[in-house]
Structure 1
């Protein structure tokens, strides 16, 4: 069993560990200063950002999600971007990712967001199996500067 709730100040160490593992999973690097700033933003709801944490029945944090709410030029409503979603390796395949996405959908609905979306690497086959069941793959590609 897993429960999903908004992060609280007491979750800082668990969130930091999971976020660092998430960054490592994607073979990326994020400066510690930015990680600290991100935690502060998520904890305080700055910039329309929210964070969720998944906790197993033993009380261990096993997953995180970061939500960014923003306006759209195509809609009078808000959209929800699920910017970060990570499940600890030992908890994968046990419904944690699904629970985090369902909690994201619930928060988006509560806030009146008419679209919830996210991205992943094309090679992330395990996550994509879940995403194919609970979302719709679009034909858009992401470009960056």
Structure 2
């Protein structure tokens, strides 16, 4: 396994492995709808905010997370992403703090935080963790 094929495996595990990902920054458009099981045709160009971490250190615990902060009212939200050498629980708490900070800086009232986090224990030459928020129009 190589770093690239480990990343590809992480994409497949997240359900994004057959899409062409276009990395975007951290703003969720106003009035966005959430769909957990949305079908997107393979090969589609898809905007996504994501965090990923790839490691070649056998035995290392790595994690990735993405969090969406939903606002009070009909304004935009904020997406944060992060990754690193930590547990799923640690990265979940960290990313929630990032969302809260982003809302405070923008002086927007936070209604809800949705988090997707994944943990991976590197067992072979490479391992990769990936978490993303797809924006499909």
TM-score by length of 1: 0.36
Relative to its length, the structure with more strand (as a share) is: 2
More contact order relative to length (CA 8 Å, sep ≥ 6): 2
